[in-house]
Amino acid sequence: MSPRFARLTMIAAGLLVAVTTVIGQAPAPGSPTRQPSGGGTYHAPRTGDGKPNLNGIWQALNTANWDIEAHAAAPGLITELGASIAVPGGLGVVEGEIPYKPEALAKKKANYTDRLKLDPENKCYLPGVPRGTYMPFPFQILQSQKHIMIVHEFAGAVRTIYMENQTPAPADSWMGWSNGRWDGETLVVDTTGFNDQTWFDRAGNFHSDALHVVERFTARSADTLMYDVTIEDPNVFTRPWKMTMPLYRRVEKNAQLMEFRCVEFVEDLLYGHLRKQPK
């Protein structure tokens, strides 16, 4: 292990302990690896290099993309689309409440009010993290030794998770800069270097460019993963907070990511006002 890698790992581990302590779930010293919520003692099959094999096409089955917090069903914003665009109710994926700072909560509410105009999803922008994971589109995990790729069907968004040669984020980006490590059965992904342009859902939940996301992917059966996320952003929240949800394998024999090159679908929305007008 290179000194730099060791240092990063220690920092990441320290941060994790700090974060989990804050949210009251720190493992007792010497205790075995913390079990993911809802997970048992499932032991995943191994890849050729002996790591838990998380390869596959996965998808969330919940309403987090509409609103990560609990919400009742509600009408949609486009009258003509009626029931097909209405919001399905859901019990939320957030543990407790999202600890917004007062001024940030006001902004969240304004985002919600103006969501038709402001939600970056409508513009086919890269969805950010963790939103990409629970959008109603599949994503694929491709595991190699040096890099683990997460490729999303939505907008063809791509994340490279560096398992080696880890560095701090060299620049801000939409999908962030991800460094990963194995913690027993769990893939832990530490992501920073975000811009402030993405949202967590269609309800206007948002973050700043100080966002720090720690994701834990743990196999809980052959065809399900537990996905635990810790969100930290001192500009927007008073403390770190968590989301938890299962992810399901797309088990169809011919499952594959289809092309969803949505830029084409939003051109009139974004640029229609700049069309040449007939004389």
Partner 1 sequence: MTRRLLIGFGIVAFGVLAIPVASQTRSAAANTKTAAQPYTPPRTPDGQPDLQGFWTNSIYTPLERPKNVTKEFYTPEEAAEMEKRAAERESAEPAAGTVADVHYDEAQFGLNRSQATFARTLRTSLIVDPPDGRMPPLTAEAQKRFADLAAARKRMGAPFDRVQNMDIDDRCLIMAGTAPPMLSPGYMSNYQIVQAPGYVMILVERIHDARIIPLDGRPHPPDNVRQWIGSSRGHWEGKTLVVESRNFNSKRPGVGDWQLAGLAFRGASQDMRVTEWFTRVDADTILYRFTVEDEKTWARPWTAELPMVKLQPQGPLFEHACHEGNYGLVNTLAGARLEEKKAAEDAAKKQPK
Per CB under 8 A, the list member of 20, 35, 37, 53 interacting with partner 1 is 53
Q: How far is the CB of 225 from partner 1 (least distance, A)?
A: 16
In this complex, which beta carbon is closest to partner 1, that of residue 117 or of residue 276? 276
One-letter identity of residue 68: I
Closest CA to 196 of 92, 138, 125: 125
Q: Distance (Å, rounded) from C-alpha 158 to C-alpha 154?
A: 10
Q: How far is the CB of 222 from partner 1 (least distance, A)?
A: 15
Span from 72-80, 184-192, 205-213, 256-264 in contact with partner 1 (CB under 8 A): 256-264
**Burial label, 172 (beta-carbon count in 10 A; 0-12, 13-18, 19+):** middle
Q: Distance (Å, rounded) from C-alpha 65 to C-alpha 164?
A: 32
Contact between 252 and partner 1 by CB under 8 A: the answer reads: no
| Residues 191-210 close enough to bind partner 1 by CB under 8 A | 197
Q: In this structure, what token pair is assigned to residue 238?
A: 């008073």
| Residues 76-135 close enough to bind partner 1 by CB under 8 A | 124-126
One-letter identity of residue 20: T
**What φ, ψ does residue 3 adopt, rounded to 5°?**
-55, -40
In this complex, which beta carbon is closest to partner 1, that of residue 117 or of residue 275? 275
First to last CA, the chain: 69
Contact between 47 and partner 1 by CB under 8 A: the answer reads: yes
List of E strands, the chain: 56-59, 139-143, 147-152, 158-162, 177-183, 186-192, 212-221, 224-232, 241-249
| Residues 133-162 close enough to bind partner 1 by CB under 8 A | 140-147, 149, 151, 156-158, 160, 162
In this complex, which beta carbon is closest to partner 1, that of residue 197 or of residue 244? 197
Q: How far is the CB of 179 from partner 1 (least distance, A)?
A: 11
- State CA 252 to chain mean position distance: 24
Contact between 171 and partner 1 by CB under 8 A: the answer reads: yes
Residue count, binding to partner 1 (CB under 8 A):
45
**What φ, ψ does residue 136 adopt, rounded to 5°?**
-80, 50
Q: How far is the CB of 54 from partner 1 (least distance, A)?
A: 10
Give the interface with partner 1 as residue ranges (CB under 8 A).
47-49, 53, 55, 124-126, 140-147, 149, 151, 156-158, 160, 162, 170-171, 173-175, 197, 253-254, 256-259, 261, 263-264, 267-268, 271-272, 274-276
